[in-house]
DNA sequence: GATAGTATACTTGTATACAAGTATTCATGT
DNA sequence: ACATGAATACTTGTATACAAGTATACTATC
């Protein structure tokens, strides 16, 4: 099988071919390696990846669910994402996390959650120290996932599982981009997460919303223009760290 | 192919076998025809439905996305839904529609939307007049979908598309149940939708949230106990109208 | 040259075949 | 009686084959 390798391969260790193809295609779409509006053919893809049509079919179905392709009568049309879509994803992330926080207020203690989040941020710092953009990304996603899952609300978890792959993918590209262009940004990224922990701990509704808002706004600012700039995107997608 | 036929067949006219199986399995899971906790085998299902494994596989993947089964190493474990899950679905529906309304406030005119919603409610009334529980259900779903899609927000639409099938399914069962047990409820169902239209028209944030809340609360009240009562569920699932 | 009709090369959806892996069962040895 | 281990019957994931349908291109006709 011939993946483009934009997605960290160690994360695909025990995955089926189908899942590997999904991860690869997703990265290719978000990084514009596959042009928006172009049409993917199951046959051509299966040739390109040197696998049969079965895993390709599976992959395209998953991508359709995520809104990255449209399965038409003939071929899968690449939809991809623009700057506006990133804003919209963050819209719904903010919506979901606000929802979660409302539920967090009803719990008697958040100690376990706080502890877990603190651990993740500490690991983010290590990843930052070693300039490992990918690891920072995964920890970032894990941070937010941990918050969401903490309220054990089945349907908010299902919603999250449907946006998570795209979020993960765009954070990966975003962080790689920052690592090259806005290195100092990471201090703020980490600071924002610490702020979030504090405000959750204080159960201060206003503070939390501010922290959420700050986080998503900084995310936007740091990568401004990235998603409509094919050159930066290509660079980011091919970034492999400095070590 | 041998479907159980719990899902209105006319809606499956041009669907692929895979899609038909999804709809059938979904209804069977929600109506407890397939017991929660039981394990589905691709082979057994393909025998039962007299189709090959391919469409069954597709179906199970879709159901996994919706959280109705868990694809384990051996077999698909039926998760199904309880009364609590219904509450949680309505939680996220309320969250999503509140989000949508916030965006609606920013539009200069909602006339087209109001017109569309009014049309749908009128059709609901006709469906009610003819005691067509299924058609009422579809119009109910269409009503909420119309609101959600009206703001042309890609990711809220994607989220909706992921919960829609389950919502549709549980509304179907719910309405069939009411048609037999709480017939008079429909007046309130329709009234609630009219209320919702009015409050959207007035752009009154408070009124809308009240209307949303009322709608979802009444939904809950009207079908209280249904989801933990296998007998009622079975009756509802087999309901075919009085004509 | 324009148009209608046909042939061809694609497409998807389904069926089937196969390989690799896992649970279960049953027999064997202690 | 109980543990160990091999045989069996399952499972999934992938590959391949086929049927039915659709777009494209070409040819024949006006």
pLDDT at B63: 94
Q: Which residues of A touch B162 (CB under 8 A)?
A: 65, 158-159, 162
Interface test with B, best of A64, A81, A159, A166 (most B CBs within 10 A): A159
For B55, the token pair is 């469409």
pLDDT at A241: 61
pLDDT at B243: 40
> pLDDT-derived band of residue A242, with 50, 70 and 90 as boundaries?
very low
> pLDDT-derived band of residue B139, with 50, 70 and 90 as boundaries?
very high
Which residues have Cβ atoms closer than 7 angstroms to strand D? A 16-18, 46, 51-55, 58, 73-74; B 41-44, 53-54, 57, 71, 73-76
Q: Which nucleotide is nearest to B54 (CA to C1')?
A: C14
pLDDT above 70 as % of chain A:
98
Three-state SS letters, A180-205: HHCCCHHHHHHHHHHHHHHHHHCCCH
> How far does B99 lie from chain A, in Å, by closest CA?
7
CB atoms within 10 A of CB B184: 8
Q: Provide the β-strand partners of residue B76.
A: B40, B71
| A72-97: pLDDT as tens digits | 888 899 998 888 999 999 999 999 99
User: Which letter does DSSP use for residue A9 in this model?
Assistant: G
Q: What does the radius of gyration of chain A's CA atoms come to, in whole angstroms?
A: 18
Please name the residue of chain B whose CA is at the shortest distance from the CA of residue A86. B155
pLDDT at A243: 40
Q: Which residue is nearest to nucleotide C11 (CA to C1')?
A: A74
Domains and CATH numbers, chain B: 9-78 (1.10.10.10), 83-238 (1.20.120.530)
HSE-CB at A98 with a 13 A cutoff on CA atoms is: 18
> How far does A158 lie from chain B, in Å, by closest CA?
7
**Is the per-residue pLDDT at B15 higher than 90?**
no
Least confident of B10-19, B87-96, B234-243: B234-243
Least confident of A17-21, A36-40, B76-80, B202-206: B202-206
**Is the per-residue pLDDT at B116 higher than 60?**
yes
**Is the per-residue pLDDT at A62 higher than 80?**
yes
Higher pLDDT, A207 or A116: A116
- Find where tokens 């309220």 sit: A151
pLDDT at B92: 94
Say yes or no: A159 contacts chain B, CB-CB below 8 A.
yes
The mean per-residue pLDDT over the stretch A207-223 comes to: 77
Range among A220-229, B96-105, B208-217 with highest mean pLDDT value: B96-105
Closest among B60, B205, A84 to B68, alpha carbons compared: B60
CB B178 within 8 A of CB B190: no
Say yes or no: B163 contacts chain A, CB-CB below 8 A.
yes
Interchain contact, B91 vs A155, CB within 8 Å: yes
pLDDT at B235: 81
pLDDT at B242: 45
HSE-CB at A50 with a 13 A cutoff on CA atoms is: 4
Q: Which residue is nearest to nucleotide C21 (CA to C1')?
A: B73
Q: Which of A58, A154, A159 sits opposite B159 (nearest CB)?
A: A159
pLDDT at B241: 61
Higher pLDDT, B127 or A180: B127
Q: B73 vs A21, B39, B53, B76, CA distance in Å?
A: 20, 11, 16, 8
Q: Which residues of A touch B154 (CB under 8 A)?
A: 67, 85, 88
Q: B182 vs A138, B90, B139, B188, CA distance in Å?
A: 50, 20, 19, 11
Closest among B217, B219, B197 to B207, alpha carbons compared: B197
> B78 φ, ψ to 5°?
-75, 125
| B51-95: pLDDT as tens digits | 999 999 999 999 999 999 999 888 899 998 888 999 999 999 999
Q: Whole-number mean pLDDT of chain A? A: 89
Higher pLDDT, B183 or A144: A144
CA–CA distance, A117 with B117 (Å, rounded to integer):
44
**Is the per-residue pLDDT at B212 higher than 90?**
no
The mean per-residue pLDDT over the stretch A42-69 comes to: 92
CA–CA distance, B131 with B133 (Å, rounded to integer):
6
Please name the residue of chain A whose CA is at the shortest distance from the CA of residue B102. A95
For A126, the token pair is 């290590």
Q: A35 vs A40, A235, B141, CA distance in Å?
A: 10, 16, 35
Say yes or no: B95 contacts chain A, CB-CB below 8 A.
yes
pLDDT above 90 as % of chain A:
57
Provide the Cα torsion A114, A90, A161, A116; round to 10°.
-10
Strand D nucleotides, any atom under 7 Å from protein beta carbons: they are 10-17, 22-23
pLDDT at A228: 82
For A16, the token pair is 């089926």
Interchain contact, B99 vs A96, CB within 8 Å: no
pLDDT at B68: 94
Higher pLDDT, A151 or B227: A151
Count how many pairs of residues, chain A against chain B, have C-beta atoms within 8 Å. 65
Higher pLDDT, B242 or A110: A110
**C-alpha B24, offset from chain centre:** 14
């Amino acid at each position: 099988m011939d993946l483009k390798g934009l997605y960290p391969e160690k994360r695909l260790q025990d995955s089926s071919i189908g899942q590997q193809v999904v991860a690869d295609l997703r990265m290719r779409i978000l990084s514009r390696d596959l042009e928006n509006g172009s049409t993917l053919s199951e046959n051509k893809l299966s040739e390109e990846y040197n696998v049969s049509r079965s895993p390709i079919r599976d992959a395209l179905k998953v991508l359709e669910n995520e809104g990255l392709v449209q399965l038409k009568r003939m071929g899968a049309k690449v939809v991809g994402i623009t700057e506006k879509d990133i804003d919209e994803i963050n819209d719904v992330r903010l919506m979901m996390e606000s929802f979660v926080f409302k539920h967090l207020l009803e719990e008697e203690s958040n100690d376990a959650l706080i502890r877990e989040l603190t651990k993740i941020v500490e690991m983010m710092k290590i990843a930052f120290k070693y300039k490992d953009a990918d690891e920072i990304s995964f920890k970032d996603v894990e941070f937010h996932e941990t918050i969401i899952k903490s309220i054990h609300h089945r349907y908010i978890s299902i919603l999250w599982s449907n946006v998570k792959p795209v979020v993960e993918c765009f954070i990966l590209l975003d962080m790689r981009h920052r690592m090259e262009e806005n290195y100092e940004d990471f201090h703020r990224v980490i600071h924002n997460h610490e702020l979030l922990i504090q405000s959750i701990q204080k159960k201060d509704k206003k503070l939390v919303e501010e922290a959420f808002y700050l986080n998503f706004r900084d995310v936007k600012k740091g990568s401004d223009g990235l998603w409509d700039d094919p050159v930066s995107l290509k660079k980011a997608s091919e970034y492999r760290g400095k070590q």
